[in-house]
Amino acid sequence: MLAGLRAVASGPRLLILQWLKDPTAHFPPQTDGDLVDDGVCSLFIATKLGMTQPSATGHLKVLERAGLIRGKRIKQWVFYRRDEARIAELKRMIEGEL
């Protein structure tokens, strides 16, 4: 639970989770990978955050290590989508603790 709380204790990471909840509303169509089925390209996420790709990748890795998102490699890119089961589990744990 602590890793999950640390992961969401950041404005950019919360934005990423919000955007990935409805990727078609927040990102343009991609050449490779479906926004919903495969996830959103890390480059699109970095651009939307207004930061370099290495900085955005750092945030994505924190979310991935916490299990809140999953990465999928397609060609040379990594696409990210939410892990809804893990997010629901974190919400239940938080509710139980508070």
Residue bearing tokens 């602590």: 2
pLDDT digits (tens, 9 = 90+) for 69-84: 999 999 999 999 999 9
What mean pLDDT comes out for the span 21-49?
Answer: 95
How many angstroms separate the CA atoms of 80 and 17, rounded?
10
The pTM score is 0.91
Tokens of 86: 């893990």
Q: SS3 of 98, please?
A: coil
The domain limits of the chain are 2-97
Tokens of 51: 């930061």
For the structural domain made of 2-97, what CATH number should be given? 1.10.10.10
pLDDT band at residue 23 using 50, 70 and 90 as cut-offs: very high
The terminus-to-terminus CA distance of the chain in angstroms comes to 13
